[in-house]
Amino acid sequence: MFDKEAYEKRVKWFTEARFGMFIHWGLYAIPARGEWIRSTERISIEDYEPYFEEFDPVDYDPKKWAKLAKQAGMKYAVLTAKHHDGFCLFDSQLTEYKSTNTKCGRDLVREYLEAFRAEGLKVGLYYSLLDWHHPDYPKYNDWNHPMRQNPAYADEKIDFDRYLDYMHGQVRELCTNYGKLDILWFDFSYGEMKGEMWRGSELVKMVRSYQPDIIMDNRLEGGGDAFGSLVTDSPSDFCGDFVSPEQIVPPNGIRRQDGTPVVWEACVTMNNSWGYTQRDKNYKPAPMLIKKLVECVSKGGNLLINVGPDARGNIPEESVNILESVAVWMKRNSASIYGCGLSDLEKPDYGRITASADGKKIYYHVMEPQIGFVPLHGVKKEEIKKIRLLADGSELKIADSWIITSYPDLVFVSFGDSPLLPDPCDTVIEVELK
Ligand code: GLC
């Protein structure tokens, strides 16, 4: 039975945080052609083994990662504890295929959790439901497995339940050996591989028994394209707590079938790759990511921006530089992000609107310079307590000019004599209501 009150209590911090760091890291950082390389290049376990033998991230310092995330204004992070290749970044007792058995000999998850908690960030772990290393995971007829349609596996006998025992056992390890976790980010379901095929009800019940306040994504039911039963009037036991649109900002946000808003988080790469991809230099510029964060919040959602550290354990310089630029804007304007969400006011043609949860503060995000005055749609003069330029707290007086005589019901402000915006990316006006 879906407990609405418990749900809303559980997701409160998440919907206030709005902004997080996704971290895709593992053996695939060495070939540096993305985290799906075993599948896309049909690489056998044997041919992938050299990366396990070689993995030694000598520069790994999660404290640096945590400081970068915090400085950028991110309030939480999610690290891949195990991706589809089955390599565990944590000291699992259920496998030898783990970071503590590589040259580095380190429990990378434990160090990440400690470092990010120390910076005051909430901590999450991504855990792949798929496992291309485990002998009992389906191969020949699977849609994604590196050995799919390989005749050598056509008659292979596997015990999928034995894999599920392993998968549940590892999730239990993560939920019991690493302190309080705030997010468990499963990935992903496809075809028949969903829901109870993962023994989903049992898995979620077990997770909640150890981590009662944890929130989970919706991918026990689907992939980055699916909303799942969370948006229906009959959510399943494994519907998760938020919808996880991938590489898209939902055009109209995401709502339940009854029209009420649902918790969602868009996950987006900074270039076009989740795992480190050396040749992928297609980075999104900081102003674009700032505007996408504002767009997500204006539609009632979160943004999880991904970094893919390299084989040495460094976040790519391009990503660092972009996040340092995002930090400058967030330092001045984060009040329009944290604890904010969608407003009923109509989206202005020059940008977007975010609003505080109590509706008492409305943030007009001006992303396109206006000729002369800036209209503040949807608010009346008599409702307004004060108007401020959020970045520096300076007063913006309601404009009074012959130019706007024909718009008596519209409130206008001016940024002064320059035709340009004070902040060319997004100049935020804070309107506090009485
Ligand atoms: C897709 C990718 C997977 C990545 C995930 C992040 O499922 O296949 O590699 O971890 O998106 O949302």
Beta bridge partners of 389: 394, 429
Does residue 241 have its Cβ closer than 6 Å to ligand 1? no
**How do residues 303-316 score in pLDDT, each as one tens digit?**
999 999 999 999 99
Give the integer Cα–Cα distance in Å for 107 and 113.
10
Residue closest by Cα to atom 8 of ligand 1? 36
Does residue 182 have its Cβ closer than 6 Å to ligand 1? no
pLDDT confidence of residue 3: 83
Does residue 274 have its Cβ closer than 6 Å to ligand 1? yes
Residue 348's SS3 state is: coil
pLDDT confidence of residue 129: 98
Does residue 221 have its Cβ closer than 6 Å to ligand 1? no
Backbone angles phi, psi at 101, to 5 degrees: -100, 5
- According to DSSP, residue 328 is labeled H
**How do residues 3-52 score in pLDDT, each as one tens digit?**
889 999 999 999 999 999 999 999 999 999 999 999 999 999 999 999 99
Give the integer Cα–Cα distance in Å for 35 and 308.
10
Write the secondary structure of 145-180 as one string of H (helix), E (strand) and C (coil). Answer: CCCCCCHHHCCCCCCHHHHHHHHHHHHHHHHHHCCC
Beta bridge partners of 94: none
Does residue 35 have its Cβ closer than 6 Å to ligand 1? yes
Q: Which atom of ligand 1 is nearest to the CA of 247?
A: 12
- Regions of the chain where pLDDT drops below 50: none
Q: How far is the CA of 98 from the centre of ligand 1 (A)?
A: 20
Q: What is the pTM of this model?
A: 0.98
- According to DSSP, residue 96 is labeled S
pLDDT confidence of residue 2: 76
By the 8 A CB rule, do 230 and 244 touch?
no
By the 8 A CB rule, do 179 and 113 touch?
yes
Does residue 188 have its Cβ closer than 6 Å to ligand 1? yes
Give the integer Cα–Cα distance in Å for 71 and 64.
10
Angstrom distances, CA of residue 268 to CA of 19, 190, 246, 291: 11, 20, 6, 13
- For 321, the enclosing helix (H) or strand (E) is helix 317-333
Q: Enumerate domains of the chain plus CATH numbers.
A: 4-339 (3.20.20.80), 351-433 (2.60.40.1180)
- For 7, the enclosing helix (H) or strand (E) is helix 4-17
